[in-house]
Chains A and B, each alone.
Chain A
């Protein structure tokens, strides 16, 4: 009886399945022609940021809307933040100048912002009169 190693070392190539070489050659060459006629697929930008990939998948009108909304929101946020900082600085200045309670000075500031009819001196005067 043959040893398994002998069997494995002497596996001769066997005849393959029925195969029409000419037909396969024609098929391969026609597929090559087809591949060359097809326009190549647009390449995916793999490294693009997520938002850019999202924008590629929406219509141009929606894309413009998203850009505008983002820009508007950004401006709003920036303005608001800037206002708060300005306001804070202004209050700080008043506190330093007058050495008064912050709450009172903030009230004065609001008053001043609402209407510039009354001068700051007038406000101080009113305050002293009321107290």
Chain B
């Protein structure tokens, strides 16, 4: 993601809304991408985008310019996602999601040909069954491809906790894939 220049941040701190409009235009895709993966719901993801930027505007004075602005935005968005996920009841995947995967799992040729986007769709379905914290760590590491120090800053978890959450998340997904019929060489 393109980083926001410091002079734009300073103008936002001075209350210039035109400068903040630039921030919104530049960063909203990134926030939407994270929110969509976390919430697995387009409307909820859009709500998260709005809430994130409103909070960012209200708290722009608290932003520490020693860190990346995108990390700060990710932090706000992640907390909003976690709060929403915690308040939601645990969801189970729709039966058709599993059927969709079984079709591929039963056919060795289709497993070989399965495209990345289909794998992403399957894994995202499985990720939505993890705990909110595991979901967040997995999304930041595997879908957003963030560095571990950035994940630490965003989640507020130390390296050991991130590692354990990620391990449990991967194991859970692995077990579910095998249970659904996927076989490893």
Q: Does A7 contact B (CB under 8 A)?
A: yes
Q: Does A47 contact B (CB under 8 A)?
A: no
A13 contact from B20, B24, B33, B46, Cβ within 8 A:
B33
For A10, list chain B residues within 8 Å (CB). Answer: 116
Distance in angstroms between the alpha carbons of A29 and B120 in the assembled complex: 33
> B49–A28 contact, CB under 8 A?
yes
Distance in angstroms between the alpha carbons of A12 and B115 in the assembled complex: 11
Distance in angstroms between the alpha carbons of A31 and B28 in the assembled complex: 15
In the complex, which residue of chain A has the Cβ closest to the Cβ of B15?
A36
> A1–B184 contact, CB under 8 A?
yes
**Shortest Cβ distance from A31 into chain B, in angstroms?**
6
Distance in angstroms between the alpha carbons of A51 and B184 in the assembled complex: 67
> B116–A16 contact, CB under 8 A?
no
**Shortest Cβ distance from B116 into chain A, in angstroms?**
5
Give chain A interface residues in 9-44, CB to chain B under 8 Å.
9-14, 16-17, 19, 21, 24-25, 27-29, 31-32, 35
Q: Number of residues in B with C-beta < 8 Å to the partner? A: 41
For B25, list chain A residues within 8 Å (CB). Answer: 21, 25
**Shortest Cβ distance from A53 into chain B, in angstroms?**
26
Per-position binary interface string of chain B over residues 28-65, scored 1 when its CB falls under 8 Å from any chain A CB and 0 otherwise: 11001100100000100110011001100110000000
> B143–A24 contact, CB under 8 A?
no
Q: Does B123 contact A (CB under 8 A)?
A: yes
> B54–A1 contact, CB under 8 A?
no
Q: If the complex has contacts A4-B174, A28-B24, are A16 and B33 also in contact, measured as CB distance less than 8 A?
A: yes
> A32–B54 contact, CB under 8 A?
yes
A interface: dominant SS: helix
B interface: dominant SS: helix
**Shortest Cβ distance from B16 into chain A, in angstroms?**
12
Distance in angstroms between the alpha carbons of A25 and B27 in the assembled complex: 10
> A4–B58 contact, CB under 8 A?
no
For B45, list chain A residues within 8 Å (CB). Answer: 17
Give chain B interface residues in 115-137, CB to chain A under 8 Å.
116-117, 119-121, 123
> A29–B111 contact, CB under 8 A?
no
> B46–A4 contact, CB under 8 A?
no
Q: What are the 8 closest A-B residue pairs judged by CB atoms, nearest first?
A: A17-B42, A28-B53, A14-B120, A25-B24, A4-B174, A14-B117, A1-B185, A11-B142
Q: List 22 A-B contacts (CB under 8 A).
A: A1-B183, A1-B184, A2-B111, A4-B182, A7-B119, A8-B174, A9-B142, A11-B116, A11-B120, A13-B143, A13-B145, A14-B116, A14-B117, A14-B120, A14-B121, A24-B24, A24-B28, A24-B32, A25-B21, A28-B28, A29-B24, A31-B54
